[in-house]
């Protein structure tokens, strides 16, 4: 689960359990009108093939139906896992995610890889606008490999991947976080089943980008998940 286009700057790493994403030598984040103003991001689930020739990851994204069918899951399972993942980041920072049916205009498009590779990826499209040390994100795409096996929750089997964990990890990339140093973070490089909630480092990293939650928008802490029962 990586963004292969990142070029991490040495100073991006911290001893506080997070690393901000740096692309082409600049840190990245979504536009924010003021430090205490929530960042509203729209997201959509792919219902048809979508091609972005400029993307390095997730160039061709499609619906998740086949991915779910191969793993014995339903659309409701995926939607629930995505909801838990989004609410975790909302509860951590000044972010509000709003679903849209307009796949072409959505800030974040989520779907299945048409050209299967790896486990899951994120791709960030940057605007030409810079604010301080940050290049502003214009759009993002998240894609999961339909030929991997997927589940809801942890059961110790690391050959089958938890949708909640994976979506939380990739959304972390989509909002500007790189892989965290160490192993005990949702944003750690490798998939693990020792932590389901965001670590203190994950939370600190996203708050350094967007600030604490302001209370504008629906927020609730997502509880840990068990196999077959995400809440």
Residue 216 included in any domain: no
CA distance 48 to 219: 30
In residues, how long is the chain?
231
Per-residue pLDDT at 231? 26
Per-residue pLDDT at 225? 34
Residue 226 included in any domain: no
Residue 163 included in any domain: yes
Residue 10 included in any domain: no
Reported as a single tens digit per residue, the pLDDT across 200-224 is: 999 999 999 999 998 755 444 333 3
The number of distinct structural domains making up the chain is 1
Residue 33 included in any domain: yes
Instruction: State the CB neighbour count (10 A cutoff) for residue 208.
Output: 16
Closest CA to 166 of 92, 67, 31: 67
Per-residue pLDDT at 35? 85
| pTM attached to this predicted model | 0.89
Structure confidence at residue 196 as a pLDDT band (50, 70, 90):
confident
Residue 31 included in any domain: yes
Q: What is the CATH number of the domain that holds 156?
A: 3.40.390.10
Residue 108 included in any domain: yes
Under a CB-based contact definition with an 8 Å cutoff, are residues 206 and 212 in contact?
Answer: no
Supply the range of the domain harboring residue 155.
Answer: 18-210
pLDDT at residue 75 tops 60: yes
Residue 5 included in any domain: no
Question: Residue 134 forms beta bridges with which residues?
Answer: 27, 131
Under a CB-based contact definition with an 8 Å cutoff, are residues 107 and 43 in contact?
Answer: yes
């Amino acid at each position: 689960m990586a963004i292969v286009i990142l070029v991490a700057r040495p100073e991006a790493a911290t001893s506080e359990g997070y690393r901000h994403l740096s692309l082409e030598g600049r840190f990245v984040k979504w536009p924010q009108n003021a430090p205490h103003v929530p960042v509203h991001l729209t997201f959509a689930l792919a219902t048809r093939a979508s091609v972005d020739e400029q993307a390095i990851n997730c160039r061709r994204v499609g619906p998740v139906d086949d991915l779910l069918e191969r793993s014995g899951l339903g659309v409701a399972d995926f939607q629930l896992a995505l909801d838990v993942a989004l609410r975790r980041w909302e509860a951590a920072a000044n972010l509000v995610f709003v679903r849209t049916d307009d796949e072409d205009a959505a800030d974040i498009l989520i779907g299945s890889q048409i050209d299967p590779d790896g486990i899951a990826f994120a791709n960030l499209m940057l605007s030409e606008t810079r604010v301080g040390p940050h290049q502003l994100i214009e759009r993002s795409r998240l894609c999961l490999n339909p030929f991997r096996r997927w589940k809801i929750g942890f059961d110790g089997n690391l050959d089958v991947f938890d949708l909640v964990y994976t979506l939380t990890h990739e959304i972390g990339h989509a909002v500007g976080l790189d892989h965290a140093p160490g192993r005990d973070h949702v944003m750690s490089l490798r998939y693990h089943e020792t932590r389901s909630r965001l670590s203190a480092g994950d939370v600190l990293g996203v708050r350094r980008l967007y600030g604490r939650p302001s209370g504008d928008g629906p927020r609730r802490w997502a509880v840990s998940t068990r196999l077959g029962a995400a809440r």
